[in-house]
Structure 1
Amino acid sequence: MTHQEILKKVEWKDLKNLTFKEMLIENNLTIPWFVISITLAYFGYYLLALPFSAFFFLTGLRQVHNGFHNSLGTNKFLTWFTVYSNSILLMVSIHAVKFNHIRHHKYCLSDEDYEGKSAKMKWYEAILYGPIHMFLIHKVTFELGNKNYIKNMILELCSIAIFVFIAFYFKIDFLIYHICIMIFAEFLMAFFAVWTVHHDTEENPEMARTQRGKWKNKITFSMFYHLEHHLFPAVPTIKLPELAMRIDKILPEIEKKNTF
């Protein structure tokens, strides 16, 4: 069954719309995790802060990912500000990530898909490839992106550099902790955000892997409904569980490879 046939069979356009409550959730999901992690780090409880830092990173990824697809329910400026501010906190130019992610949807797992390169690797190769992955998404954006992408990337990288300089120059330990953990997490993106959801799917790239475990989806904030996302990228993350139920009901024959 082709992508277009699936789009026609499954009702999904109503899922694009967010209620006011859903919009608040999507735009503020990162705040409690960031506040708790940074507070624990401030008082020197770095080990206790780690899981909250991980949840902040994951929810930050969810937030900007929705921003890429204009699914936050906010206007153009607020969506831009979400992407910009998360660039500083996540230690990467999110506009560079966005540029490569949009190309990933267009050229999924082809030679033009720089984001998806690690999907064809072995799992340990994808982990080792992480730092190269982070370098390449900036390089590719600089080489192929339009003026707006390049301008935003430079602004974000300069803002990150200022943030890092302040933290290290004034020896602000809890900020140094945050910076180090976020960089480490970014180095794992080629594995967690690409390999886990796309490995062994080259024959039909749009049919990415997905996750149906209730608790696994809860602790990963629904970020591994990747089959659903690739088929219906305009649907906000908060609506993906409902979308998954509709797909299972209307098209039970679709093969669903597990993410983990």
Structure 2
Amino acid sequence: MTHQELLKRVAWKDLKKLTIREMLIENNLTIPWLLTSLTLAYFGYYLLALPFSAFFFLTGLRQVHNGFHQSLGTNRFLTWLSLYLNSILMMVSIHAVKFNHIRHHKFCLSEEDYEGKSAGMTWYGAILYGPIHMFLIHKITFQLGNSKYRRNVLAELVSIALFAAAVIYFNIHFLIYHIIVMIIGEFLMAFFAVWTVHHDTHDRPEIARTQRTGWKNKVTFSMFYHLEHHLFPAVPTIKLPELARRIDAALPEINKKTTF
């Protein structure tokens, strides 16, 4: 069954629209985790802050991922602003990540898919590859992206550098902690965001791995409904549980590989 045939068998277009409540959730999901982690770090409780920082990183990834696919329910400027601000907070050019992610959907797990390179590695190889992955997505965007992408990436990198320089110069300890944790998170992206959802799927790249265990999806904020996302990338993350139910009902024959 081709990708187009799969699309025709599942009702999904109604899931693209967000209610006001859903739009507010998708655009503000990061705030409580960020504020809690920074508050705990400010008072020196770094170990207690760590899980909140991890959840900020995860929800930030969810937010920008929806932004990549224009699924935040906001206009283009507010979506751009979300990507720009999250670039500074997450210590990476999110527009560089976006450029490579859109290519990932177009050239999934082929030679042209630079985001997906770690999918063919061992799990420990993907972890070790992490710093190279982060360097490569910026390099590729400057090489292959249009002038608008290059301007956005440059603006984000300059803003990140100024933020980091100010934090280090004024020795703001809780923000130094935040920067270190975010950089570690970015270095693990090749493993968590690529290898976990795509390893051993090269025979049918569009059928990515997925997660069907309820509590695991709650803990990971529905970010591992990856098969669903690859089949229907325009559907916002908040709608993926419903999309998963529809896929299971309409296409029970799909062989679903588990993420974890």
TM-score if structure 1 supplies the norm length?
Answer: 1.00
Paired residues for 1:66-215 under 5 Å? 66-215=66-215
TM-fit CA distance, 1:61? 0.1
TM-score if structure 2 supplies the norm length?
Answer: 1.00
Task: Quote the sequence identity (%).
Answer: 78
TM-fit CA distance, 1:51? 0.2
Matches of 1:91 and 1:213 in 2, distance apart? 31
CA deviation map 1:71-108 (0-9, x unaligned): 00000000000000000000000000000000000000
Matches of 2:119 and 2:164 in 1, distance apart? 31
TM-fit CA distance, 1:208? 0.2
Aligned partner of residue 224 in structure 2, secondary structure: coil
Structure 2 counterpart of 1:38: 38
Matches of 1:42 and 1:167 in 2, distance apart? 13
Structure 2 counterpart of 1:9: 9
Matches of 1:219 and 1:91 in 2, distance apart? 23
Paired residues for 1:43-58 under 5 Å? 43-58=43-58
Matches of 2:154 and 2:174 in 1, distance apart? 26
Matches of 1:103 and 1:213 in 2, distance apart? 29
Matches of 1:218 and 1:224 in 2, distance apart? 10
CA deviation map 1:175-222 (0-9, x unaligned): 000000000000000000000000000000000000001000000000
TM-fit CA distance, 1:2? 1.0
Where does structure 2 lack aligned partners over 5 or more consecutive residues?
none
Matches of 2:157 and 2:128 in 1, distance apart? 23
Large movers: runs of 4+ above 4 Å: none
Structure 2 counterpart of 1:218: 218
- RMSD of the TM alignment (CA)? 0.3
Matches of 2:2 and 2:21 in 1, distance apart? 35
Matches of 2:207 and 2:8 in 1, distance apart? 16
Q: How many residues align?
A: 260
Matches of 1:30 and 1:185 in 2, distance apart? 15
